[in-house]
Amino acid sequence: MLPYKSLIQTDRNSSVSLYIQVCNSFISLITNGTLQPSDILPGSRVLAELIGINRNTVKLAYEELVNQGWAESIERKGVFVLSKLPIRAKTVLPQANKNNSIQEPFIWTNNFKNAIPSKNLQKNILTIDDGFPDVRLAPVDLLMREYRSLSRRFHGRKFLHYGSSKGSEHFRVSIGNYLSHSRGLTVSPENILITKGSQMGIYLATQLLLHPSDNIAVGMSNYLSADDTFKYAGANLLRIPIDDHGMDVDYLEEILLRSKIKAVYVIPHHHLPTTVTMSAERRLKLLNLAKEYRFAIIEDDFDFDFHYDNKPYLPLASIDHNQNVIYIGSISKTFAPALRIGFMVGSSAFIEAAASLRELIDRQGDTLLEEAFAVLFDNGEMERHFRKSLKIYKQRRNFFCSMLTSDFNDKIEFRMPEGGLAVWSNFDKKIDIIRMSDEALKKGLFIDNGNFYKNESFFTNGLRMGFASLRENEMVEALGILKKILH
């Protein structure tokens, strides 16, 4: 007899009935090959004594096994594993082959072996992040109040049905109004697709624009997740230098003379990772080149709302009169990263196609959440949140940069950013940032190790140091730990 006392474990504190627990244990033994077709199961009295439960519970478990088709009861003989079941080889753990890799149970393609795992910032640890908003400032209570209110109203129940894959029409109208008065970008709801953050917009645009071997121009330094999205589509990445005035459009023009480019991906407002802003002259030239050479511009404008020293530049999309620009923005990056809300703006035909593609991977977004956000935009709460946050973030930027200047003058080179939520920091070449990151974690501080910003052409010993999510006392503590490590 098998060692049922160890094979069948029960938990009296579980919400699952004991007889179901026993039944499921036998199903597991059958499916993993420990029990084979026609094997006899122990008598109910014997099993009850072995595992310490009532005999009637065992009888109920056997009845359930029979009812589900895993066993059969033969009068005066007992209960047996169903004889008609196919024979199962006993499950064994997969063994490593000669190349020290595990043999997979089926053939599949893994294009993500070298992907950098995303960071879990939900852990309660002091963090210098990549440049994210302080979620403590977000009017989440107001948002949830509207969410609950909508869900309780009779007319709000309609939002629990399937809706448009473009997103809530009310929210698209609200976003359109917001883009008009904040960016001078006049669009109708048909030109807007609500996404789950800017990354979804980048993916959808890429799938519609690029085919294998197509060329896309990107920054020498660039947002790694965008690069990976383009590579996944099979595109060739043509690297364009980034200087203090943004992407070098003259260099791009030289490439256009000898190579066909399908698209240019650009972050003109606060380039990621370096935070530089593209000059007005280069913006206009880029638009002229797009019209002349008929390529698309994917404009990633993830943190337009946070610009401190002067009025922010208008997006490329606002001065594009030829519809070459696909404009992507994010509410997540300005409100709270886990609330996945973004938008993509383009021609009505492009947005219609993007919505159809979106349905293949995500039928639609959270309509109730979108409607709740629409209310906050309509009643001015979002604008008040942006104004309040802008004032606080500017103070934090100034304090953070003053500490970098006073305590890290010989270790970190940086320029105070005009906008955004992070400082691009170049560390002394003698400093091993990966080791620094590991040592900081041991002392209770999470800070990135810089690998996310590197690519085949960009190897600088630098990283983004987010200031927006830290209060001043937290900055003192975090930079104090970093100072001890570096000195």
- 410: tokens are 């010989």
pLDDT per residue over 180-211, tens digit each? 999 999 999 999 999 999 999 999 999 999 99
What percent of the chain is predicted at pLDDT more than 70?
A: 97
- 446: tokens are 């999470």
pLDDT per residue over 437-457, tens digit each? 999 999 999 999 999 899 889
pLDDT per residue over 347-368, tens digit each? 999 999 999 999 998 888 888 8
Domains along the chain with CATH numbers: 4-81 (1.10.10.10), 126-134+384-486 (3.90.1150.10), 163-379 (3.40.640.10)
pLDDT number for residue 94 = 61
Helix (H, G, I), strand (E, B) or coil at 299: strand
What average pLDDT does the segment 83-95 reach? 78
pLDDT number for residue 303 = 85
CB environment 327-363: b (16+ within 10 A), e (fewer): bbbbbbbbbbbebbbbbbbbeeebbebbbebbeeeee
Q: Report the C-alpha gap between 268 and 64 in whole angstroms.
A: 64
Q: Report the C-alpha gap between 421 and 411 in whole angstroms.
A: 21
Which H or E run contains 152?
helix 140-152
The residue among 23, 32, 41 whose CA lies nearest residue 87 is 32
pLDDT number for residue 92 = 67
What average pLDDT does the segment 378-398 reach? 95
The residue among 235, 297, 303 whose CA lies nearest residue 269 is 303
